[in-house]
Amino acid sequence: MNRCRTRACWAIVVSAIVLFRSLAGTSGAAPRADEFELSIVCPKYDPAERISKFYFQISGGQVIGLPRVPIGWTLNISNDPSWSSEVSGAAIVGAAFIQPRQFVREIITIRAIPDELKRYPGAPERTMITGYVDLYKIDDTRRVTLANDDFTMSPRQQTR
């Protein structure tokens, strides 16, 4: 009976070592070629305006990360299996509104649709992003509509 317990303990230890090594091997790995940091080409705004809400629709891509989540915000992500994704966010209170320059750089990490899936009928041929941001200033909200040209995608950098 002691042998069974010893073998079971060794099996657990060996499994744990294999798991930790596999995790350690992926954490320092080079970024994937199909992963990108999404940024916004900063819209024109008044220095007193703050972002209170945003919505982005991604065709041909999936959200895989949010590097900087603002404090006091509620976020929603929908990654459809058809490679159409939506991400939105809204400040819970006015004190959590953020300046546009704090929001526009590397806001979402996405994975672009793999080349092998692009050949299927109806599949997106490339990754496209549209959406809007709401800018708030003294009891007035202005919606800025964003087209694909208002976004940039830069290759994801390796993190350690």
Whether 38 and 106 have beta carbons less than 8 Å apart is answered as yes
Averaged pLDDT, 51-61: 94
Q: How confident is the model at residue 105, as a pLDDT?
A: 87
Cα–Cα distance measured from residue 94 to residue 80, given in angstroms and rounded to the nearest whole number:
31
Cα–Cα distance measured from residue 117 to residue 142, given in angstroms and rounded to the nearest whole number:
38
Q: pLDDT tier at 21 (50, 70, 90 boundaries)?
A: very low
Q: How confident is the model at residue 73, as a pLDDT?
A: 95
Question: Which fold would CATH assign to domain 32-155?
Answer: Immunoglobulin-like (2.60.40)
Q: Tell me if residue 159 falls in helix, strand or coil.
A: coil
For residue 156, pLDDT over 90 is answered with no
**Through-space distance between the first and last CA atoms of the chain, rounded to whole angstroms:** 45
Q: Tell me if residue 135 falls in helix, strand or coil.
A: strand
The pLDDT tens digits for 99-120 are 988 888 888 999 998 888 877 8
H-type helices in 2-142, by residue range?
A: 2-27, 100-103, 115-118
Choice between 138 and 30, residue whose per-residue pLDDT is larger: 138
Residue tagged 């060996």 (tokens): 14
Q: pLDDT tier at 159 (50, 70, 90 boundaries)?
A: low
Q: Output the average pLDDT for the chain.
A: 80
For residue 62, pLDDT over 90 is answered with yes
For residue 28, pLDDT over 50 is answered with no
Residue ranges per domain, the chain? 1-30, 32-155
